Amino acid sequence: MAWLSLLPLAIDLVLALTLLWLAWRALTSPDLFRAVVLFIALGLVLGLVWVRLDAVDIALAEIALGAGVTGALLLAALAKLQPAESQTDEVAMMAPIALRLPIALLLIALLTGLGLVVWQLWVPAPGLSNLVDARLDEAGVAYPVTAVLLNFRGYDTLLELAVLLLALIGVWSLSTAPHLGDEEPEPALAALSRLLAPLMILVAAYLVWVGAYAPGGAFQAGSVLGAAGVLLRLSGWRLSLSATGWPLRLVLVLGVAVFAFIGLAVIGFGQPLLGYPQGWAKPAILTIELAATLSIGAILAALFIGGRP
Amino acid sequence: MNSVLVFALAGVGLIGLGLYGLLVQRHLLRKVLAFNVISSGIFLLLAGLARRAPGAEPDPVPQAMVLTGIVVAVAATALALAMMLALRSATGRTRLKDHGDED
């Protein structure tokens, strides 16, 4: 049964070809709506690929963010462009063939080169796993990816939270939130969101907690919270006017503020910036993760609503 | 030939398709799509290169970087789409101006 050992490789080849085919169709489909739906499908297949690569964290984030939230953002933007834009003639929307052909040839040459480089680089390299494993005891969490995100490479994560906030400030400065009418939402959607929203909050809480020793953590949990916000928005729920002022803004900046505060406060204990004192890493990381989860969820939902309230 | 190499090369393919879409498509929403395809390709390539040692535990550092990258990509997409909608409401166009276009 030697061919059985080839089965995983065959499945992975099919997955890889599906990825490329979906990407090609999403980029060239004449209908914009179809292009967006194909792009969401691409995100879902990509989630499967991440599972095949043993990267469960990335799979969670890819499906919740890459396929879910990005898809919702694209569909919402498309809905605002309708109806004038979606069916415009495609010939005018692409560069002329005389330009496309040289671009394609140039890219094929470039990408063949990149492919060859990847092929030649394909010798086993230890990477940074050993270094992470050696210091994991001091990290305060037992799961290496969370340790890298919140401890060893805390800078990246702090800056990333700042980037999220900056993107939201950018979106807010471009427009104000569309006023929702008072029409009743569809009963099925309303009932579904009443069932799903509490469940998603529970899943988010679980993901934050489990991130200390298994795949999970603030980003995945925040994505689920953000998706819950998108669902609630679609079913017509909105924040009361008194909550859209400073309480909302407080939740939005909570992640960056708590992370930056703890990162700076440790300097007072003789530690470097973002270096948690001995024995304090676990509570510090948990506090930062809880704050970051709330902020990420709120920012993603606010990005979807798209405009200053 | 192993699975990880297959996915890394698929990542190279995605980068190529995305670059092509970014260059030849004029509609800004399609450019945003192409941009996301490029980023997915880069993530695959990065995570693939980090898993060259067969059978070993995956390297957590590239995984954390990709995780960070996905979140930043979503934020950038949201900002790009908001800018596209603002351009559309200001000028009525959903593509960038070419030479020789009149307003």
In degrees, to the nearest 5, what angle opens at C-alpha A37 toward C-alphas A204 and A307?
A: 60
CA distance B24 to B12: 19
Structure token digits, residue B3: 């699975």
The whole-chain average pLDDT of chain A stands at 86
- Find the range with the poorest average confidence among A25-29, A161-165, A268-272: A268-272
Structure token digits, residue B101: 């276009």
Please state, for a pLDDT cut of 90, what percent of chain A lies above it. 38
- Find the range with the poorest average confidence among A74-83, A183-192, B36-45: A183-192
Any chain A CB within 8 A of the CB of B14?
yes
Predicted local confidence at residue A183, as pLDDT = 60
Over the stretch A17-58, which tens digit does the pLDDT of each residue have? Answer: 999 999 999 998 888 899 999 999 999 999 999 999 888 889
For residues B7-11, average pLDDT: 93
Asked if A163 lies within 8 A of B75 by C-beta distance, the reply is yes
Over the stretch A280-309, which tens digit does the pLDDT of each residue have? Answer: 888 889 999 999 999 999 999 999 988 888
Mutate to test the interface with A, among B32, B33, B87 (most CBs of A within 10 A): B33
Asked if B74 lies within 8 A of A20 by C-beta distance, the reply is no
Predicted local confidence at residue A92, as pLDDT = 57
Out of A15, A125, A219, the one facing B67 most closely (by C-beta) is A219
Band the pLDDT of B2: cuts 50, 70, 90: confident
How does A242-270 read in b/e, with b if 16+ C-beta sit within 10 Å? eeeeeeeeebbbbbbebbbebbeebeeee
In chain B, domain spans: 3-91
Band the pLDDT of A268: cuts 50, 70, 90: confident
Mutate to test the interface with A, among B2, B57, B68 (most CBs of A within 10 A): B68
Predicted local confidence at residue B103, as pLDDT = 47
Band the pLDDT of A187: cuts 50, 70, 90: confident
Asked if B23 lies within 8 A of A144 by C-beta distance, the reply is no
Any chain B CB within 8 A of the CB of A138?
no
Instruction: Decide: A175 and A306 in contact? Cβ < 8 Å.
Output: yes
The CATH architecture assigned to B3-91 reads Orthogonal Bundle (1.10)
CA distance A267 to A277: 9
How does A102-128 read in b/e, with b if 16+ C-beta sit within 10 Å? eeeeebeeebeebbeebeeebeeeebb
Over the stretch A114-146, which tens digit does the pLDDT of each residue have? Answer: 999 988 888 877 778 888 888 888 888 888 888
CA distance A103 to A294: 44
Asked if B17 lies within 8 A of A20 by C-beta distance, the reply is yes
For residues A215-238, average pLDDT: 87
- Top pLDDT among B42 and B1 is at B42
Q: Is B27 helix (H, G, I), strand (E, B) or coil?
A: strand
Predicted local confidence at residue B15, as pLDDT = 95
Instruction: Decide: B29 and A86 in contact? Cβ < 8 Å.
Output: no
- Find the range with the poorest average confidence among A50-64, A146-160, A173-187: A173-187
CA distance A209 to A289: 9
For residues B5-15, average pLDDT: 93
- Judging contacts by C-beta atoms under 8 Å, the chain A residues touching residue B53 are 124-127
- Top pLDDT among A163 and A100 is at A163
Instruction: Decide: B41 and A122 in contact? Cβ < 8 Å.
Output: no
Asked if A54 lies within 8 A of B10 by C-beta distance, the reply is no
Q: Is the pLDDT of residue A87 over 60?
A: no
Mutate to test the interface with A, among B1, B15, B63, B91 (most CBs of A within 10 A): B63
Any chain B CB within 8 A of the CB of A6?
no
Asked if B64 lies within 8 A of A20 by C-beta distance, the reply is no
Predicted local confidence at residue A171, as pLDDT = 93
- Top pLDDT among B93 and A14 is at A14
Any chain A CB within 8 A of the CB of B74?
yes
Predicted local confidence at residue A91, as pLDDT = 47
Instruction: Decide: A200 and A297 in contact? Cβ < 8 Å.
Output: no
In chain A, domain spans: 7-94, 130-309
| Residue tagged 């009525």 (tokens) | B92
Query: H-helix or E-strand containing A13?
Result: helix A7-28
Instruction: Decide: A31 and A87 in contact? Cβ < 8 Å.
Output: yes
Band the pLDDT of A207: cuts 50, 70, 90: very high
Over the stretch B11-65, which tens digit does the pLDDT of each residue have? Answer: 999 999 999 999 998 889 999 999 999 999 999 999 888 887 766 677 888 889 9
Out of A65, A99, A306, the one facing B70 most closely (by C-beta) is A65
Total-model pTM: 0.89
Asked if B43 lies within 8 A of A111 by C-beta distance, the reply is no
CA distance B77 to A69: 10
